[in-house]
Amino acid sequence: MPRHAIGCFGQQLGCDASCEPAGRKQLHKRVCWPMPRLPMTKSDPQPAPREEPDPRRYVALAPAPPEGPLELEQLLPAGGEIELEIGFGRGQFLLQRAQAAPGSRILGIEIKRKWAYVVEQRAKRMGLDQVRVFGADARELLPRMLPVGGVTRVFMHFPDPWWKARHAKRRLRGPETFDPVARLLRAGGELFIQTDVEERAQTFIEDLREHPGFELPAGDYIADNPYGAQSNRETRAIADGLPVFRILARRTPER
């Protein structure tokens, strides 16, 4: 390599120091070396460890429902309408809804105990005393809830589609899902379902058309979410430009 082609090592390595260019008959006079990174010692401040419970402990940490009948008026003692969210996931809708409707009492059920624990802690930090959550299977809890007709609204946001045939029994659909919901809803009460899977939306529509306890609006779907809160999945679907299918069914009066 010719001498005039020799450049500043510091510049090649990102050094901010300025160096004189090398002439044809002289070597470079100043070489910039990067400052060596010294190893950390025990005296150096260490980053605080992230306080995250061991995943195996979530079963014990998650709020569990009591045994026997679940009296909603006792679980949610403050006055106001009772709302129920089935499968709240990361809890964005649940917490936003509690802020948008401070006069309502809201019970959330989530089968993943990690999120039941996390959302319960967030609700406490936010001072949302009208919120209560359980880490449990809604299909087991709904039949135990009382009183009949004591709930004003039920929310189901983006239920897992469970694509595989062997998982079909896990899908929230049919009389085994909507009979307990109809039992809990008061006359005129609302069942709000959202999904970004058109096939699942059509399944919900078919189930609700056949159920004597619900009536659907003209056209089956509604355009907007009227509850002043969004689930995590709804926010992501809107950001990604995905269609969201929204169903608002009402509880028919008992005949």
Given a contact cutoff of 8 angstroms between Cβ atoms, the answer to whether 115 and 123 are in contact is no
Is CATH 3.40.1230.10 what the domain over 58-251 is classified as, yes or no? no
**In the chain, domain spans:** 1-35, 58-251
Q: How far is CA 236 from CA 195, 224, 230, 244, 252, in A?
A: 12, 15, 10, 11, 33
Given a contact cutoff of 8 angstroms between Cβ atoms, the answer to whether 27 and 6 are in contact is yes
| Residue 134, phi then psi, degrees to nearest 5 | -130, 140
160 in catalytic set: yes
Tokens found for residue 167: 């998982």
Instruction: Count the residues in the chain.
Output: 255
Q: Catalytic pick from 16, 54, 129, 160?
A: 160
Query: Between β-strands 245-251 and 185-195, what pairing exists: parallel, antiparallel or unpaired?
Result: antiparallel
pLDDT of the residue at 159: 85
pLDDT of the residue at 170: 53
Query: Between β-strands 214-215 and 245-251, what pairing exists: parallel, antiparallel or unpaired?
Result: antiparallel
Q: How far is CA 30 from CA 8, 51, 76, 112, in A?
A: 8, 49, 75, 63
pLDDT of the residue at 172: 66
Q: Which residues does residue 194 pair with via DSSP β-bridges, in sequence order?
A: 157, 246
**Cα 127 from Cα 146, distance rounded (Å):** 26
Q: How far is CA 134 from CA 59, 86, 96, 219, in A?
A: 11, 10, 18, 35
**Cα 1 from Cα 28, distance rounded (Å):** 14
Low-confidence ranges of the chain (pLDDT < 50): 1-29, 163, 167
pLDDT of the residue at 58: 80
What letter would DSSP give residue 142?
G
Tokens found for residue 225: 């979410």
**Cα 60 from Cα 54, distance rounded (Å):** 11
